[in-house]
Structure 1
Amino acid sequence: MPTPDSTWHDAGPADQVPPGAVIEAVVGDRIVAIANVEGRLHAIDGICAHQGGPIGKGRLSGCTVTCPWHGWQYDVATGRQTLSQTIRQASFAVKVQSDRILVSLEPPG
Protein backbone atom coordinates (compact mmCIF):
# COMPACT_ATOMS: atom_id res chain seq x y z
CA MET A 1 0.00 0.00 0.00
CA PRO A 2 1.58 3.35 -1.00
CA THR A 3 2.01 6.01 1.63
CA PRO A 4 0.81 9.59 0.96
CA ASP A 5 4.24 10.14 -0.65
CA SER A 6 3.95 7.54 -3.43
CA THR A 7 7.73 7.06 -3.51
CA TRP A 8 7.54 5.02 -0.30
CA HIS A 9 5.59 1.77 0.05
CA ASP A 10 4.47 0.17 3.30
CA ALA A 11 6.16 -3.22 3.77
CA GLY A 12 4.66 -4.05 7.16
CA PRO A 13 5.40 -3.60 10.84
CA ALA A 14 9.03 -2.98 11.80
CA ASP A 15 8.93 -5.60 14.56
CA GLN A 16 8.46 -8.40 11.99
CA VAL A 17 12.18 -8.12 11.13
CA PRO A 18 14.21 -8.39 14.36
CA PRO A 19 18.02 -8.11 14.22
CA GLY A 20 19.51 -11.10 12.40
CA ALA A 21 16.32 -11.84 10.45
CA VAL A 22 15.36 -11.62 6.78
CA ILE A 23 11.80 -11.68 5.41
CA GLU A 24 10.05 -11.65 2.08
CA ALA A 25 7.62 -8.79 1.44
CA VAL A 26 5.52 -7.62 -1.49
CA VAL A 27 6.37 -3.97 -2.05
CA GLY A 28 4.43 -2.25 -4.81
CA ASP A 29 4.75 -4.70 -7.69
CA ARG A 30 8.02 -6.28 -6.48
CA ILE A 31 9.03 -9.11 -4.18
CA VAL A 32 11.67 -7.72 -1.84
CA ALA A 33 13.94 -9.31 0.76
CA ILE A 34 14.19 -7.10 3.86
CA ALA A 35 17.03 -7.87 6.26
CA ASN A 36 17.90 -6.47 9.68
CA VAL A 37 21.65 -6.28 10.24
CA GLU A 38 22.39 -5.11 13.78
CA GLY A 39 19.31 -2.87 13.82
CA ARG A 40 19.75 -1.44 10.33
CA LEU A 41 17.25 -2.47 7.65
CA HIS A 42 18.29 -3.28 4.07
CA ALA A 43 16.11 -4.21 1.09
CA ILE A 44 17.12 -6.00 -2.11
CA ASP A 45 15.26 -7.64 -4.98
CA GLY A 46 13.82 -10.81 -3.47
CA ILE A 47 14.05 -12.98 -6.61
CA CYS A 48 17.42 -14.74 -6.87
CA ALA A 49 19.36 -14.06 -10.08
CA HIS A 50 20.28 -17.75 -10.32
CA GLN A 51 16.92 -19.51 -10.74
CA GLY A 52 14.34 -17.24 -9.15
CA GLY A 53 14.57 -18.54 -5.59
CA PRO A 54 13.01 -16.64 -2.65
CA ILE A 55 15.92 -14.72 -1.12
CA GLY A 56 13.71 -13.39 1.68
CA LYS A 57 13.13 -16.95 2.87
CA GLY A 58 16.85 -17.58 3.14
CA ARG A 59 19.30 -17.38 6.02
CA LEU A 60 21.05 -14.17 7.13
CA SER A 61 24.56 -14.24 8.57
CA GLY A 62 25.98 -10.78 9.19
CA CYS A 63 25.37 -8.87 5.94
CA THR A 64 25.14 -12.04 3.82
CA VAL A 65 21.84 -13.65 2.89
CA THR A 66 21.83 -17.15 1.40
CA CYS A 67 19.11 -18.14 -1.06
CA PRO A 68 17.44 -21.33 0.22
CA TRP A 69 17.20 -22.98 -3.19
CA HIS A 70 20.82 -23.28 -4.36
CA GLY A 71 22.92 -21.35 -1.85
CA TRP A 72 23.68 -18.21 -3.85
CA GLN A 73 24.76 -15.49 -1.45
CA TYR A 74 24.25 -11.73 -1.58
CA ASP A 75 25.41 -8.75 0.47
CA VAL A 76 22.15 -7.18 1.68
CA ALA A 77 23.74 -3.73 1.93
CA THR A 78 24.80 -3.61 -1.74
CA GLY A 79 22.88 -6.42 -3.47
CA ARG A 80 26.18 -7.77 -4.83
CA GLN A 81 26.49 -11.54 -5.24
CA THR A 82 29.40 -12.63 -3.05
CA LEU A 83 31.33 -14.60 -5.71
CA SER A 84 30.84 -12.30 -8.71
CA GLN A 85 31.41 -8.59 -9.06
CA THR A 86 29.04 -8.46 -12.05
CA ILE A 87 25.92 -10.03 -10.52
CA ARG A 88 23.95 -7.61 -8.38
CA GLN A 89 20.40 -7.55 -7.06
CA ALA A 90 18.62 -4.20 -7.14
CA SER A 91 18.76 -2.55 -3.73
CA PHE A 92 16.21 -0.15 -2.30
CA ALA A 93 16.13 2.61 0.30
CA VAL A 94 14.42 1.66 3.56
CA LYS A 95 13.19 3.72 6.49
CA VAL A 96 11.02 3.15 9.54
CA GLN A 97 8.21 5.60 10.23
CA SER A 98 5.54 5.17 12.91
CA ASP A 99 6.79 1.60 13.50
CA ARG A 100 6.18 0.68 9.82
CA ILE A 101 8.83 -0.39 7.29
CA LEU A 102 8.78 1.87 4.22
CA VAL A 103 10.63 0.92 1.05
CA SER A 104 11.31 3.15 -1.96
CA LEU A 105 11.36 1.41 -5.32
CA GLU A 106 12.73 4.52 -7.02
CA PRO A 107 16.31 4.30 -8.31
CA PRO A 108 18.82 6.03 -6.00
CA GLY A 109 19.96 9.43 -7.06
Structure 2
Amino acid sequence: MSFQLACPADLTPGSARAVNLTDASGTNHLVAIVCDTEGEWFAIDDTCTHADVPLSEGDIGAGCIECWAHSAEFDLRTGEGSFPAPKPVRTYPLTIENQQVLVDVDN
Protein backbone atom coordinates (compact mmCIF):
# COMPACT_ATOMS: atom_id res chain seq x y z
CA MET A 1 0.00 0.00 0.00
CA SER A 2 1.32 3.44 -0.76
CA PHE A 3 0.44 6.86 0.49
CA GLN A 4 1.36 9.67 -1.86
CA LEU A 5 2.22 13.17 -0.71
CA ALA A 6 2.37 15.88 -3.33
CA CYS A 7 6.04 15.96 -2.43
CA PRO A 8 7.94 14.56 0.57
CA ALA A 9 8.76 18.20 1.35
CA ASP A 10 5.12 18.46 2.50
CA LEU A 11 6.35 17.05 5.81
CA THR A 12 9.19 19.06 7.25
CA PRO A 13 11.55 17.75 9.95
CA GLY A 14 9.70 17.52 13.25
CA SER A 15 6.25 16.98 11.74
CA ALA A 16 3.74 14.16 11.25
CA ARG A 17 0.55 13.41 9.40
CA ALA A 18 -2.12 10.80 10.14
CA VAL A 19 -3.39 8.73 7.21
CA ASN A 20 -5.81 5.84 6.83
CA LEU A 21 -4.32 2.96 4.85
CA THR A 22 -5.95 -0.32 3.85
CA ASP A 23 -4.00 -3.57 3.64
CA ALA A 24 -4.56 -6.38 1.12
CA SER A 25 -7.17 -8.05 3.35
CA GLY A 26 -9.23 -4.85 3.58
CA THR A 27 -8.22 -3.97 7.14
CA ASN A 28 -7.85 -0.24 7.81
CA HIS A 29 -4.77 1.09 9.64
CA LEU A 30 -4.51 4.59 11.10
CA VAL A 31 -0.83 5.36 10.52
CA ALA A 32 1.32 8.32 11.52
CA ILE A 33 3.79 9.28 8.80
CA VAL A 34 6.59 11.02 10.71
CA CYS A 35 9.58 13.08 9.61
CA ASP A 36 11.72 13.32 12.75
CA THR A 37 13.87 16.31 13.67
CA GLU A 38 16.82 14.75 11.81
CA GLY A 39 14.79 14.44 8.60
CA GLU A 40 14.41 10.65 8.84
CA TRP A 41 11.02 9.18 7.86
CA PHE A 42 8.98 6.60 9.79
CA ALA A 43 5.51 5.04 9.83
CA ILE A 44 3.88 3.87 13.08
CA ASP A 45 0.39 3.24 14.40
CA ASP A 46 -1.10 6.63 15.17
CA THR A 47 -2.84 5.62 18.40
CA CYS A 48 -1.07 5.76 21.77
CA THR A 49 -1.30 2.45 23.61
CA HIS A 50 -1.96 4.23 26.92
CA ALA A 51 -4.44 7.03 26.31
CA ASP A 52 -5.92 6.13 22.88
CA VAL A 53 -4.99 9.54 21.44
CA PRO A 54 -3.27 10.41 18.13
CA LEU A 55 0.50 10.26 18.30
CA SER A 56 0.73 12.39 15.15
CA GLU A 57 -0.25 15.36 17.33
CA GLY A 58 2.66 14.77 19.72
CA ASP A 59 6.12 16.30 20.00
CA ILE A 60 8.71 14.82 17.65
CA GLY A 61 12.41 14.46 18.34
CA ALA A 62 15.30 12.55 16.81
CA GLY A 63 13.96 9.01 16.36
CA CYS A 64 11.08 9.47 18.83
CA ILE A 65 7.60 10.88 19.28
CA GLU A 66 6.05 11.91 22.60
CA CYS A 67 2.36 11.47 23.33
CA TRP A 68 0.82 14.85 24.10
CA ALA A 69 -1.65 13.38 26.63
CA HIS A 70 0.76 11.91 29.14
CA SER A 71 4.34 12.23 27.86
CA ALA A 72 5.01 8.58 27.02
CA GLU A 73 7.78 8.54 24.43
CA PHE A 74 7.79 6.03 21.56
CA ASP A 75 10.86 4.93 19.59
CA LEU A 76 10.04 5.47 15.90
CA ARG A 77 12.28 2.55 14.83
CA THR A 78 10.99 -0.12 17.21
CA GLY A 79 7.65 1.23 18.46
CA GLU A 80 8.73 0.67 22.09
CA GLY A 81 7.16 3.10 24.53
CA SER A 82 8.18 4.50 27.88
CA PHE A 83 6.03 4.58 31.02
CA PRO A 84 3.03 4.79 31.18
CA ALA A 85 2.54 3.19 27.73
CA PRO A 86 1.72 -0.48 28.43
CA LYS A 87 2.88 -1.85 25.08
CA PRO A 88 4.65 -0.75 21.89
CA VAL A 89 2.96 0.64 18.80
CA ARG A 90 3.29 -1.14 15.48
CA THR A 91 5.88 0.14 13.02
CA TYR A 92 5.68 -0.18 9.23
CA PRO A 93 8.38 -0.25 6.54
CA LEU A 94 8.54 3.11 4.74
CA THR A 95 10.44 4.16 1.63
CA ILE A 96 10.43 7.25 -0.56
CA GLU A 97 10.55 6.74 -4.33
CA ASN A 98 9.91 9.31 -7.07
CA GLN A 99 8.36 11.85 -4.68
CA GLN A 100 6.03 9.17 -3.29
CA VAL A 101 5.94 7.92 0.29
CA LEU A 102 5.43 4.13 0.29
CA VAL A 103 4.23 2.40 3.47
CA ASP A 104 3.91 -1.39 3.63
CA VAL A 105 0.94 -2.21 5.88
CA ASP A 106 0.79 -5.82 4.67
CA ASN A 107 3.72 -7.09 6.77
TM-score by length of 1: 0.78
Number of aligned residues: 100
Structure 1: gaps (5+ residues): 1-7
Query: What's the CA shift for 1:46?
Result: 0.4
Query: What's the CA shift for 1:24?
Result: 1.6
> In structure 2, what is the Cα distance between the partners aligned to 1:105 and 1:40?
19
RMSD: 2.0
Residue in 2 that maps onto 1:91? 91
Contact 1:43 1:91 in 2 (8 A): yes
Give every structure 1 segment of 4 or more consecutive aligned residues whose post-TM-superposition deviation is greater than 6 Å. Answer: none
> In structure 1, what is the Cα distance between the partners aligned to 2:81 and 2:54?
15
TM-score by length of 2: 0.80
> In structure 2, what is the Cα distance between the partners aligned to 1:16 and 1:71?
26
Identity between Structure 1 and Structure 2 (%): 21
1:9 corresponds to 2:8: no
SS class of match (1:47)? coil
SS class of match (2:5)? strand
> In structure 2, what is the Cα distance between the partners aligned to 1:66 and 1:91?
15
What is the one-letter code of the residue matched to 1:18? T
Query: What's the CA shift for 1:11?
Result: 4.6
Write out aligned runs for 1:1-109 (5 A). Answer: 8-13=1-6, 14-28=8-22, 29-37=28-36, 38-83=38-83, 87-107=87-107
Residue in 1 that maps onto 2:25? none
Contact 1:22 1:59 in 2 (8 A): no
The answer to which of 32-41 and 89-98 deviates more is 32-41
